[in-house]
Amino acid sequence: MVIRKIVSSPATSWTKDEGPFHHIVISSRVRLARNLEKLPMPPFQSEAAGQTVMEQVKTAVEEINAQEKEGLSFNRLNELSSMDRQILMEKHLISAEQTDENPNKGLVINEEESISIMINEEDHLRIQVLLPGLQLEEAWEHAERVDNLFESRLEYAFHSEKGYLTSCPTNVGTGLRASVMVHLPALVMTNQANRVFSTLNQLGLAVRGLYGEGTEATGHLFQISNQITLGYQETEIMQNLITVTRQITESEEETRKVLLKEAPRQIADRVGRAYGILQYAAILSSQEALKYLSDIRLGIDLGLLNIKIEDFPLNELMVMTQPGNLQRRTGKVLGAIERDAARAGLFKEILEKRG
């Protein structure tokens, strides 16, 4: 089964280290919020209504699979273990809200893991496309194609003036949220990040840390996304984010050059210590791992570390060091301290293998 293969590996579509500007733009994501006509939205949903949504989507998926080549797999999330659901979350394929035991929460996903559709999350359908590097247009095209496949088989809640109706008012309109995950160590180190982020806010873009709202930025990773969907065309929203992402990428690149020129020893020291600690620590928290992975990523980009990405897959390692994936790897349930030890063991093994 597709889903068993997916939860057994930390690798996923966006963890491939490729795509335009992948040294700074880790991934691109497009998400469309859609709801079915005449059925209450999930926050106000009865169990029966939830079942109806699941059945309608299941039928649509079967039709699509019979007629198209999307290769979609329909899954009831409560049939998976809680560890499997956590792994899906750590791979960014479902949200934290989708990890509970609710019997009517579902996930439609393709084998490449580039499309993942959450069913009965905040909206009836949340169609997500995740790709590595700066590939917002490609992600948008794929999301739109999948959206059309469903729209021709399901009756969407749509208002002729407002557009797509959604559970949360901020999504009404296009229902589109587009985002990029960017690695901005140089802008943070030189205290320019906050200024950049406040400019982004003025442009209607939101900036969050790696694991969604409220979390502090970990490992110099930030998600930049559009805040408003109503009153804009999808293409406007996408172009705005693409332009801004290119500017930030340039700015980060320039700042890295300055850092390397002005403070080469400090950078080498930071990168070297991260490497030494990852190789030799015996206890490593998740936060620390992300911090040092960020330093290593910077070191590789600046040519300070002779590491091949095949031997040290940075993006996959970010997923591998999360609790669910760590427990899958060690084959047992681990307490917080054992996880910190297992995480340290993982890096020791990988780095010692390098020689």
Distance separating alpha carbons of residues 108 and 3, to the nearest angstrom: 10
Q: Closest Cα to residue 30, out of 108, 120, 133, 135?
A: 135
Smallest gap from Cβ 291 to its own copies, in A, equals 14
Q: Collapse the DSSP code of 95 into the 3-class scheme (helix H, G, I; strand E, B; otherwise coil) and give the result.
A: coil
Residue 59 interacts with its own copies (CB under 8 A): yes or no: no
Amino acid at 154: L
Nearer of residues 214 and 355 to its own copies, judged by Cβ: 355
Nearer to its own copies, 149 or 296 (CB): 296
Q: x/- binding map, residues 218-257, to its own copies, per CB under 8 A?
A: ----------------------------------------
Residue closer to its own copies (CB basis): 284 or 320: 284
| Of 7, 219, 39, the residue nearest 120 (C-alpha) | 39
Q: In what order do the strands lie in the sheet with 25-34?
A: 72-76, 106-110, 115-119, 125-132, 25-34, 176-183, 221-226, 205-209
> Total residues contacting its own copies (rule CB under 8 A)?
18
48 binds its own copies (CB under 8 A): no
Q: How far does the chain reach from its first CA to its final CA, in angstroms?
A: 37
Give the integer Cα–Cα distance in Å for 307 and 294.
14
Site for its own copies in 252-281 (CB under 8 A): 265-266, 268-269, 272-273, 275-281
Q: 242 with 136: CB under 8 angstroms?
A: yes
Residues in region 334-353 near its own copies by CB under 8 A: 337, 341, 344
In what helix (H) or strand (E) does residue 246 lie, and over which residues does it extend?
helix 234-262
CA distance 323 to 343: 9
Q: Minimum CB separation from its own copies for residue 266, in Å? A: 7
Shortest spacing between CB 255 and its own copies, in angstroms: 20
At its nearest, how many Å lie between its own copies and the CB of residue 220? 20
Q: Does 309 engage in binding with its own copies (CB under 8 A)? A: no
Select from 1, 48, 66, 282 the one that contacts its own copies (CB under 8 A): 282
Task: State in angstroms the smallest separation of the CB of 35 from its own copies.
Answer: 50
Nearer to its own copies, 6 or 278 (CB): 278
Q: Which of 96, 203, 283, 333 binds its own copies (CB under 8 A)?
A: 283
Q: Smallest gap, in angstroms, from Cβ of residue 338 to its own copies? A: 9
What are the E-state strand segments in the chain? Answer: 25-34, 72-76, 106-110, 115-119, 125-132, 158-159, 163-164, 176-183, 205-209, 221-226
Residue whose C-alpha is closest to residue 205's, from 224, 183, 177, 182: 224
Answer yes or no whether residue 285 interacts with its own copies by CB under 8 A.
Answer: no
Binding site for its own copies (CB under 8 A): 265-266, 268-269, 272-273, 275-283, 337, 341, 344
